[in-house]
Amino acid sequence: MAKPTSINTYRVPASSRMAAPIIKVSAPRAAPPKKTRRAPRRSGGGGDSEKSMVGLGVAAGLIGLAKKSGYLSKLPEVPFVGRIGAAGIIAHFWQKAGGGQMAADIKKVCIVLAAYQLGNQGSIDGEDDE
């Protein structure tokens, strides 16, 4: 059998210096533009158009017809607003329940008529009837 030979091993001391870390540098670039909030677009502005004027005229005609035929006299007398104001309050709740533009026009006409009567006569029809 063959005689084993010895192997000489040498220990090499580790380098006292560590490897430098890799630093990635990117080229300078422009800053992204600032995002500004835009105001939402507003629609409308057709308050005095012919369509709304015709609707208000029709509503005024309906109120006049209701007064002439006696339907307004059947409404309860509400203090300070009278019977026309009561019709305006009914039209307001009718509009809230889905009455549409006609209910809104009737409400506006009732407010205008009540204000006219208050300024002209000093009272609203049905307010102080005795």
pLDDT for 14 equals: 61
pLDDT for 23 equals: 84
- Measured CA to CA, the distance from residue 91 to residue 70 in angstroms comes to 17
Domains of the chain: which residue ranges?
Answer: 50-121
Environment class of 52 (CB within 10 Å of its CB; exposed 0-12, middle 13-18, buried 19+) = middle
Provide the H-helix boundaries in 1-130. Answer: 50-69, 82-94, 100-121
pLDDT for 97 equals: 92
Summarize pLDDT for 61-118 with one digit per residue, the tens.
888 888 889 888 888 888 888 888 888 888 999 999 988 888 888 898 888 888 888 8
DSSP secondary-structure letter at 91? Answer: H
Mean pLDDT value of segment 18-40: 83
Is the model more confident about 125 or about 58? 58
Which residues 6+ apart lie within 8 Å of 58 measured at CB?
102, 105
Judge whether residue 29 has pLDDT over 90: no
- Other beta carbons less than 10 A from residue 13's beta carbon: 5
For 66, phi and psi rounded to 5 degrees?
-65, -35
With a pLDDT cut of 90, the percent of the chain lying above it is: 5
- Measured CA to CA, the distance from residue 112 to residue 79 in angstroms comes to 17
Arithmetic mean of pLDDT over the chain? 80
